[in-house]
Amino acid sequence: MHELHRAEYLSALGVISYMPRFRLPLAPEPRQAWLPVEELPIENREPPPGTAELQLRQRAEGPPEIAESPQAANTALRDIGALTEQMRAAPQPQSAPAELTPPQQQVQPFVLSCWWLGDELLAVDSREPGAALPVEALFNNIARALGWHQLPREQDRLRWPLAENRFGPAAAASDARDTCSSWLEAASVRRPVKSIWLMGRQARDFCSPVPLAEPVTEWNGIRLLAMPSLTRLLQQPERKRALWKLLRETYPEHTRFPDSGVQ
């Protein structure tokens, strides 16, 4: 029989101690079993020092009462009053006003028509979608006046935004500037030219890689010319005179013939 079971059985019979009178053959040597120690009730047991249980009991019982003298209480009140006065007198640091982010400038859709004339020119013209004007014929007249009408020609078109969303807000100006200027830089590397014409507001504002403070600006060995768009020249023919003057000053070797001009 198991020793603990034997002890419980003898305890039920009222026998306090028991030792076998003799040992059976091949039986193990008898030994005293470790009986469970009777624990004290929880309410009477003192928890070990430094344990969480002791800290919880001390908090529940409250802090020990400490007898304070009237002089110590008055000193504490004076210190608290002095600190309060200092806090009131000290100026409160004023936080800097938060910077307001300016609203993004929206850009309406536009189209850029591009012409390459050999290694002489890349012309970028701003066009409004839906405007049916003979801009191609006007550009051909300008190229003929400069003697570039027989140069190899390539034509392309860039629409902004690249993916139009009719149900969303208009694209931001910063996005248009990043996209169009990157396209112009890549185009000038892929097809090197001597001059780039930025014709119209959209071409000047969004395609120019550098600020255009003057009508003619140098950029990486390329002449950048700020010019009116072909649409504006057709709508305001009086501006052709100023354009022809700019071309004669910029390309004197190509405009030396007296009968040349922009029609």
pLDDT value of residue 90: 64
Q: Summarize pLDDT for 24-43 with one digit per residue, the tens.
A: 777 777 776 666 666 655 55
Does 19 score more than 80 pLDDT? Answer: no
Tokens (6 digits) for 118: 């050999």
How large is the average pLDDT for residues 124-152? 88
Helix, strand, or coil here: 56?
helix
Inter-residue contact 231 to 131 (CB < 8 Å) = yes
135 with 241, same domain? yes
Number of folded domains in the chain? 2
Q: How far apart are CA 246 and CA 112, in angstroms?
A: 22
Inter-residue contact 121 to 115 (CB < 8 Å) = yes
Domain of residue 33: give its range: 3-46
147 with 241, same domain? yes
What percent of the chain shows pLDDT beyond 70? 68
Q: What is the CA radius of gyration of the chain?
A: 49
pLDDT value of residue 192: 93
25 with 118, same domain? no
pLDDT value of residue 25: 78
Tell me, yes or no, whether 160 lies in a domain: yes
Least confident of 101-105, 154-158, 205-209: 101-105
Which tops the pLDDT comparison, 30 or 96? 30
**257 Cβ contact list (under 8 Å, min separation 6):** none
Q: Summarize pLDDT for 177-235 with one digit per residue, the tens.
A: 898 999 999 999 999 999 999 999 999 999 999 988 899 999 999 999 999 999 999 99
Among 31, 46, 61, residue at a domain's last position: 46
pLDDT value of residue 176: 87
Does 66 score more than 70 pLDDT? Answer: no
By CB atoms closer than 10 A (0-12, 13-18, 19+), residue 260 is: middle
Which tops the pLDDT comparison, 116 or 92? 116
Does 127 score more than 60 pLDDT? Answer: yes
129 with 23, same domain? no
pLDDT value of residue 254: 81
* Secondary structure E strands in the chain: 106-107, 110-117, 121-127, 153-160, 171-172, 195-199, 216-219, 222-227
147 with 240, same domain? yes
Which residue type occupies 5?
H
220 with 127, same domain? yes
What percent of the chain shows pLDDT beyond 90? 38
Does 113 score more than 70 pLDDT? Answer: yes
Using pLDDT thresholds of 50, 70 and 90, give the confidence band for residue 9: confident
9 with 130, same domain? no
Helix, strand, coil tally for the chain in percent (to 5): 35, 15, 45
Tell me, yes or no, whether 71 lies in a domain: no
